[in-house]
Amino acid sequence: MSKSAKTFERIAFVASGVPEARDALRRLAHRYGNSPPTDADAIVALGGDGLMLQTLHRYMNSRIPIYGMNRGSVGFLMNEYQEDDLPDRLRTARISRIHPLAMHAYDCNGKAHKSLAINEVSLFRQTHQAAKLRISVDGKVRMQELICDGVLIATPAGSTAYNLSAYGPILPINAPLLALTPISPFRPRRWRGALLPNSARIVIEVVEPNKRPVSAVADHFETRDVQRVEIEQAHHVELLMMFDPGHDLDERILAEQFRY
């Protein structure tokens, strides 16, 4: 975590398509101006977590800090919406530095598909047949056969998203870990997943891919009929997310663990 020393005179606003977000964009742009995102000191995303992920992907390599304000239905990655004193809020915001996952998926025709995932990389069965998967970590087979609806690898930032719904562990934002979490495991039925170092290279092979087709999803990017998926953290890519003091991602992830 770090604080920004910028003055934030140039702010870019982006919004989701919901009326509340579009209205907020018009009011804020009238009050503070609306710079082109590539020339801005910060991008303010108005919407929910879906818009935040889209904005992070769109400006993945820009190193422009992104500050979300909640105008959507889900806002774990967003700050509270407030129109007053926005430049001051940006100046006092704390920055979380996020490294996404890099996915290399190879389909049944041998074609490679590359994508980055901020939250998680997930594999899902495509038909009524359960997926049959082989999992290797750093070149060693750790699970010869996992029969399941799917499996996911989550970053700390994504550990409170789909990973949590699949009963995966919540990871502190600065933990050098990844969560490997099964989705409805049938065999071994009681396996609940694993915690892996964020230096790990994970390979998931699809057993019987023609009989049991599987898709791979990196956030919103899907590849169908995969045979092999390689996942590792993209340490060379750094995303800058901004949060109000006392409500940063560290605090949100910690608080989430005490919800009941």
Radius of gyration of the chain (CA): 20
2 pLDDT tier (thresholds 50, 70, 90): low
- CATH 3.40.50.10330 region(s) of the chain? 2-99+238-256
- Half-sphere exposure of residue 136: CA atoms within 13 angstroms, side-chain side: 12
Residue 41 assigned as binding residue: no
- Is 112 annotated as a binding-site member? no
- Please enumerate in sequence order all residues whose Cβ is within 8 A of that of 78, keeping only pairs 6 or more positions apart, or say none: 45, 47, 48, 49, 52, 68, 69, 70, 72
Topology of domain 101-233, per CATH? Tumour Suppressor Smad4 (2.60.200)
Contacts of range 184-187, beta carbons closer than 8 Å, 24 or more positions apart: 184/148, 184/149, 184/150, 185/146, 185/147, 185/148, 186/130, 186/147, 186/148, 187/145, 187/146, 187/147
| pLDDT of amino acid 74 | 67
Indicate the Cα dihedral angle 191, 194, 200, 206, nearest 10°: 20
Secondary structure (3-state) at 28: helix
State the pLDDT confidence band at 254, using cuts at 50, 70 and 90: confident
Residues assigned a catalytic role:
49
- What pLDDT sits at residue 5? 56
To the question of whether residue 15 is assigned a binding role by annotation, the answer is: no
Confidence check: pLDDT of 213 > 80:
yes
- Residue 67 three-state SS: strand
What pLDDT is recorded for position 4? 55
Instruction: Return the C-alpha torsion angle 40, 41, 46, 52, nearest 10.
Output: 100
> Is 50 annotated in some ligand binding site?
yes
Q: Considering the chain, tell me which residue range(s) the CATH 2.60.200.30 domain(s) occupy.
A: 101-233
Does 149 carry a binding-site annotation? yes
Strand pairing of 226-233 and 42-47? unpaired
Task: Write down the CATH superfamily of domain 2-99+238-256.
Answer: Probable inorganic polyphosphate/atp-NAD kinase; domain 1 (3.40.50.10330)
Whole-model pTM: value is 0.85
Tell which residue, 215, 250, 231, 143, has the closest CA to residue 179. 231
Mean pLDDT across 203-228:
96
- The string of pLDDT tens digits covering residues 17-51 is 999 999 999 999 999 999 999 899 999 999 998 89
User: For 99-247, where are the alpha helices, taking DSSP H only?
Assistant: 162-165
